[in-house]
Amino acid sequence: MILAEKFVRPVTDTILVMNSSDYSIAKKYNLYKKNLYSINGMGINPCKFPFCTTQNQIYFREKCNISQNDFILVYVAEFSKRKIQKFLIDSIKKLKTQGYSNIKLYLLGDGMLLDEMKRHSESLAINDNIIFKGYTKEVCDYYNISDVCVSSSRIEGLPFNIMEAMSTGLPIIASTIKGHIDLVY
């Protein structure tokens, strides 16, 4: 980030950032010529991600033949090195060995590492606990059956998946990085 901004600084009047970490970096390294503004990101349409009541969650789980006793985590993200699904898969394995056999992780998205993560899940013998759904436009349906939204990303701007999940009322467990800390912490 810093190199690109320093390069274009002489011909740029204004820098817009969408999280507090980028704002601090821009101030610290004087990356702006005239104006520096922090904006609230691009946002989501909350009408597409309505609040989900407990009754609605029960209904959606029954509709999908999902046990009310299952504890469901959901992560909506591309399968890439920066999203670190492997960390979540390994965590599910640890929880399962500690006796939490009813925990399920729904992974939505596609990408370069999808097949590798499927093989990794298979090698840990936790295929019943890790559900790969691929790319879907029906993200809200998965928020509605879930107990918690998780994000293990190592890099974010202002993450849509967290904003969407928050709109439905889901609790969030996320890595402590820029973008996440602007929404969750």
Give domain limits for the chain.
Answer: 2-38, 48-183
Q: What is the pLDDT of residue 1?
A: 57
Say what percent of the chain tops pLDDT 70: 98
Q: Average the pLDDT over each of 3-7, 31-35, 67-71, 157-161 and give the range with the smallest value.
A: 3-7
DSSP-based three-state secondary structure for 58? helix
pLDDT-derived band at 97, boundaries 50, 70, 90: very high
In this structure, which topology does domain 48-183 adopt according to CATH?
Rossmann fold (3.40.50)
Q: Are 137 and 109 in contact (CB under 8 A)?
A: no
Task: Name the strand (E) or helix (H) holding 92.
Answer: helix 85-97
**Residue 110 structure tokens:** 């596609």
Say what percent of the chain tops pLDDT 90: 69
